[in-house]
Homo-oligomer: A and B are copies of this chain.
Amino acid sequence: MTRERLYLFDTTLRDGQQTPGIDFSVEDKIAIARMLDEFGLDYVEGGYPGANPTDTAFFGRKQTKRARFTAFGMTKRVGISASNDPGLAALLQAQVDAVCFVAKSWDYHVRVALGCTNDENLEAIEASVKAAVGAGREALVDCEHFFDGFKANPDYAIACARTALEAGARWVVLCDTNGGTLPSEVRDIVGKVIAAGIPGENLGIHAHDDTGQAVANSLAAVEAGVRQIQGTLNGIGERCGNANLVSLIPTLMLKPAFADRFEVGISGQALAGIARVSHAFDEILNRAPGEQAPYVGASAFATKAGIHASAIAKEPQTYEHVPPEAVGNRRRVMVSDQGGKANFMAELARRGIDVPRDDSRLDTLITLVKEREARGYAYEGADASFELLACQTLGHVPEFFSVTSFRCMVERRFDANGQLRTVSEAVVKVMIDDEEKMSVAEGNGPVNALDIALRKDLGKFQHEIQDLVLADYKVRILDGGTEAVTRVMIESQDGQGARWRTVGVSNNVIDASFQALMDSIVFKLMKNRQLAGRVAAE
């Protein structure tokens, strides 16, 4: 039986940016867009070109290879022509495949918020879609407040959708902007829209989680006929968030009720990486992954010892709604972890490191990783540190140099002109081939000073690290309070465009930073010798 295609539209970088407390940098956006593209989403909506400097910079070039790169913006203003609207012009200058317009579809909002007539709003939709199509872009129209609008005036809501499609839009997206619509209402209204002649193959759903049902609303809409789902990674988004694609995608791909009828653009292999995608995204947000998250949470396939535990060991499939491996997760039953060794070997093989099952160094490595993860290391988000630890334990890494001591100092005082000034200075002693080198540097803070001093004179290795750049630096306190354990994650890149991430853990932020900086430099030296770097090259 031929399966119908469902399209997945990611709005992490647009609606997700409306999440209180979340602010993406251009670097964050580039990294996230790449991750979404590689994962296999059909559309990646990047933001709102012209609205702020970050988004304008981000849209300076196309940021995806496979996914349709999409800009979000308003329909043209009423009273001026499409060609004279500067907002629309900015939108059409963005280097994108598709443009998603937000349009009012509730007559009440047309009157109150836009202050124009219903027909003027329809004309704005038509002209905007035509301008986008004329500029060679695929056009989508997000019908804001569609469900509330439909309840108030179904004819006008449908007229908005019809106008968009007749003007050439590929998709009309039904948005539950206030997030309060219930699944039975979504099912009912989508059915009526399709019955009114709007084809389901041109309809999308954009749901919010204000009643905790964004996922259910999205699936109800698909059952009723829509063929595009909008959502975000880990369900971020305005207020309570958007439909969580990380929960939706496994359901679409693994549950027969959907998988037998529909196909999506994501491979089974990519699906097995969805836990990693979800956790990597949380790392970018600098927050701990949700342990109870459907499919990908650490607890999603965990069982406390109890009435089920022994039965699960006997017959896991009758106690698990999907196989955990299918989503890159694993079963966690009590302390003994049966899948451990095989998982490890697979992780190493993925990095080009082959090691026999009975090699005792493999057991040493597993013990070391478990012990360190218990102390707060997060190797899931620090591939380079994991690879380095593996290579060191398996004996593949020379000792390039060692740091015998360092000192950082931060002082805030009044300078000669009576101005408050904060000065940071670091001193580092390094041994290279029995020669001691001492470097000192000032920086914009103790870690920056330490970083500069550490990389100031590495002797014969100095030329090798000239193109090493710290792209990101994140700190997380694991227990709370300034006395707690600190985890530092550093992202580095080099002139060849490779990126790698390293981790350090200590109750001292400087110490943790030092570990992550050291790992980054040593990884770079290994990479230069092709001893490592498959991760970075991926």
Contact assessment for A255 and B211 in the assembled complex, using a CB-CB cutoff below 8 Å:
yes
Is A239 engaged at the interface, CB distance under 8 Å to the other chain?
A: yes
CB neighbours (8 Å) of A447 from chain B are 482, 509
Contact assessment for A422 and B506 in the assembled complex, using a CB-CB cutoff below 8 Å:
yes
Residues 164-182 of chain A, each 1 if its beta carbon lies under 8 Å from chain B, else 0: 0000000000000111111
Contact assessment for A209 and B292 in the assembled complex, using a CB-CB cutoff below 8 Å:
yes
A181 to B322, CA, bound (A): 11
A47 CB to closest chain B CB (Å) equals 12
**Contact status of A482 and B412, CB under 8 A, knowing A20-B381, A299-B240:** no
Is A511 engaged at the interface, CB distance under 8 Å to the other chain?
A: yes
Contact assessment for B318 and A112 in the assembled complex, using a CB-CB cutoff below 8 Å:
yes
Residues 3-33 of chain A, each 1 if its beta carbon lies under 8 Å from chain B, else 0: 0000000000000001111010101000000
Contact assessment for A410 and B412 in the assembled complex, using a CB-CB cutoff below 8 Å:
no
**Contact status of A319 and B473, CB under 8 A, knowing A240-B292, A510-B422:** no
Contact assessment for B408 and A212 in the assembled complex, using a CB-CB cutoff below 8 Å:
no
A235 to B213, CA, bound (A): 13
**Contact status of A240 and B293, CB under 8 A, knowing A446-B510, A482-B451:** yes
A239 to B292, CA, bound (A): 6
Is A301 engaged at the interface, CB distance under 8 Å to the other chain?
A: yes
Contact of A74 among B215, B304, B307, B484 (CB under 8 A): B307
Give this chain's copy count: 2
Contact assessment for B474 and A286 in the assembled complex, using a CB-CB cutoff below 8 Å:
yes
Contact of A315 among B112, B247, B445 (CB under 8 A): B112
CB neighbours (8 Å) of A412 from chain B are 405-407, 510-511, 514
The segment from A133-141, A216-224, A265-273 that touches chain B is: A216-224
Could you tell me how many residues of chain A have their Cβ less than 8 Å away from some Cβ of chain B? 123
Which residue on B lies nearest to A420, using beta carbons? B405
Tell which of A181, A244, A297, A471 has the most Cβ of chain B within 10 Å: A297
Contact of A482 among B210, B295, B473 (CB under 8 A): B473
**Contact status of A424 and B291, CB under 8 A, knowing A182-B257, A255-B211, A380-B21:** no
A410 to B446, CA, bound (A): 9
**Contact status of A480 and B25, CB under 8 A, knowing A303-B238, A410-B510:** yes
Is A113 engaged at the interface, CB distance under 8 Å to the other chain?
A: yes
A321 CB to closest chain B CB (Å) equals 2
Contact assessment for B212 and A508 in the assembled complex, using a CB-CB cutoff below 8 Å:
no
Is A119 engaged at the interface, CB distance under 8 Å to the other chain?
A: no
Contact of A180 among B212, B322, B334, B409 (CB under 8 A): B322
CB neighbours (8 Å) of A23 from chain B are 378, 478
CB neighbors of B among A278-319 (8 A): 286, 291-295, 297-304, 306-307, 311, 314-315, 318-319
Contact assessment for A27 and B318 in the assembled complex, using a CB-CB cutoff below 8 Å:
no
Contact of A25 among B109, B297, B334, B478 (CB under 8 A): B478
Contact of A297 among B240, B414, B484 (CB under 8 A): B240
Contact assessment for A311 and B444 in the assembled complex, using a CB-CB cutoff below 8 Å:
no
Contact assessment for A255 and B303 in the assembled complex, using a CB-CB cutoff below 8 Å:
no
CB neighbours (8 Å) of A483 from chain B are 443-444, 448, 470
Could you show 18 A-B contacts with beta carbons less than 8 Å apart?
Answer: A19-B299, A21-B291, A25-B478, A113-B311, A180-B321, A182-B255, A185-B257, A210-B321, A215-B216, A240-B294, A241-B292, A286-B474, A408-B410, A422-B511, A424-B508, A424-B510, A445-B486, A473-B484
Interface residues of chain A, those whose CB is within 8 Å of chain B, are 18-21, 23, 25, 27, 74, 102, 106, 108-109, 112-113, 145, 148, 177-185, 209-213, 215-216, 219-220, 223, 235-236, 238-241, 244, 247-248, 250-251, 255, 257, 286, 291-295, 297-304, 306-307, 311, 314-315, 318-322, 332, 334, 378, 380-381, 404-414, 422, 424, 443-448, 451, 469-484, 486, 491, 506-511, 513-514
